[in-house]
Structure 1
Amino acid sequence: NSELWHACAGPLVCLPTLGTRVVYFPQGHSEQVAASTNKEVEGHIPNYPNLPPQLICQLHDVTMHADVETDEVYAQMTLQPLNPQEQNDAYLPAEMGIMSKQPTNYFCKTLTASDTSTHGGFSVPRRAAERVFPPLCGL
């Protein structure tokens, strides 16, 4: 559910649209993988000396996920590096000037002790919950 994923990711998260050009940083990706798998950054990150520090790519696919253990949301993207000729070609994003279809509903609340429960949850004002979170089918 895209709306639920964006609500969990927060109002400042914006995913690029398919077909857009993005910059991929291989070293940063390697460091992120090492950190998320609790490996030593210095000793276990592969070194590719012929790989440039950044690659201009075209976005071909985006899938939204949530980690089953932590409920942390993340997006998996399929990128294709562009060759130098493709990088020099004129580029106009397909959705230039079109408003984002991502939801912008959100709420902020300072949590207090009375907002918590013994089951690990917290209270959300009903109006905010109905506006931000989609209804659950079948419940």
Structure 2
Amino acid sequence: MKIPSGGFVANYAEGDKKMINSELWHACAGPLVALPPVGSLVIYFPQGHSEQVAASMQKETDGIPSYPNLPPKLICMLHNVTLHADAETDEVYAQMTLQPVNKYDQEALLVSDIGLKHNSQL
């Protein structure tokens, strides 16, 4: 599959194998939604993610496992963005593949030209 110029890969819906149109997905998501480009540095908040999972599953946050040794935020490299739409609710969402950047890589990226460019987007 060819990756569109925006760096996003629309997924094939399970069962009917229809590709999600990126422009339609963005129109449904609304004008305030901006997805970071593949290859950029992003900050991942594990606690916020856990709370979102609990809310989507309509469970108490007490039932979601906590990871006390995990830092409250992680700098990650964005490797892939896949666009989705829920077949039942027509709600759109994006699945992102992240890889944590270790401390030494963070320091190297921050002092490099590419790191400075990525940092200005955070």
- Structure 2 length normalisation: TM-score? 0.73
Deviation at 1:93, TM superposition (A): 3.8
- What is the CA RMSD across the aligned residues, in angstroms? 1.4
Runs of 4+ in 1 over 2 A off after TM superposition: none
Q: Say whether residues 1:74 and 2:80 are aligned partners.
A: no
Whole-Å separation in 2 of the counterparts to 1:84 and 1:8: 37
| Pairing of 1:1-139 with structure 2 (within 5 A) | 1-42=21-62, 44-89=63-108, 90=112, 91-93=115-117
Q: What are the Cα deviations for residues 6-49 of structure 1, in whole angstroms up to 9, with x where unaligned?
A: 0101111110001000000001000100110011112x111111
Q: Greater helix percent: which structure?
A: 2
Q: Distance in 2 between matches of 1:76 and 1:36?
A: 15
Structure (1/2) with the larger strand percentage? 2
Q: Based on CA coordinates, which of the two structures has the bigger radius of gyration?
A: 1
Q: TM-score, with normalisation over the residues of structure 1?
A: 0.64
**Distance in 1 separating the partners of 2:81 and 2:116:** 20
Q: Which runs of 5+ in 1 are unaligned?
A: 97-139
Give yes or no for contact 1:20–1:93 (8 Å, CA) kept in 2: no
- In structure 2, runs of 5+ residues without a counterpart are 1-20
Percent same amino acid at aligned positions?
Answer: 70
Question: Could you tell me how far apart the structure 1 residues matched to 2:59 and 2:94 are?
Answer: 22
The DSSP-based 3-state class of the residue aligned with 2:78 is strand
